[in-house]
Amino acid sequence: MTYLDPMIRLLPPIHEQDHCQGRKEAQLTLVEYGDYACLQCVQAYPLIRSIQAQFSDICFVFRYFPCVDRHPSAQHAAEAAEAAAAQGKFWEMHDRLMRQNQLLDDASLIEHAIALKLDINRFLCEMSTDFHVVRVLSDYNSGIKSRVSCTPTFFINGCQLTGDWHPSALQTAIEQFLS
């Protein structure tokens, strides 16, 4: 059973630094705390794309929540996404990491960066100096504040979708919310 819990709020609310698709003032805001190495996040990915196609006025935000104890490659994958963001290609990298989530080792991350035609020297430099660790950690900490404990965890208009995760639960929750 999944339900929207108005008592568990998104902290902080959507802000300027978030990776966001759609306008922040949209009627429907959907925030995902996700981990690129998490199979449930990968399962949720096409569903989110479908929801975005279905609802015109929607804002989708992705925040990093790498569960490194279960998925050691998740941290570097998040940093690679952030390194791509620094070069204006967050969503392109996000899509690649979600679609090819079996390829998250450091060597594969470099190949993703090459495929996206990023400035490779800058990418390597930022990855090897842990340049984006703080940003990833900031998202992770916001998840902790928002009582996120596993991935994917979603917030619909600032309220957490709570309960056992299954893909249809998100669609149902959104439909119920809008009705």
Report whether 139 contacts 19 (CB < 8 A): no
CB of 137 to another protein, least distance (A): 21
Q: Which is nearer to another protein, 5 or 111 (CB)?
A: 111
Report whether 83 contacts 131 (CB < 8 A): yes
State the residues that interact with another protein by CB under 8 A: 105-107, 110-111, 114-115, 117, 120-129
CB of 170 to another protein, least distance (A): 35
In Å, the largest CA–CA distance within the chain is 50
Residue with tokens 């639960």: 169
The number of helix segments (H) and strand segments (E) in the chain equals 7, 6
Q: Which is nearer to another protein, 57 or 130 (CB)?
A: 130
Q: Which is nearer to another protein, 114 or 178 (CB)?
A: 114
- What tokens were used for 19? 């990776």
CB of 176 to another protein, least distance (A): 46
Q: Which is nearer to another protein, 99 or 117 (CB)?
A: 117
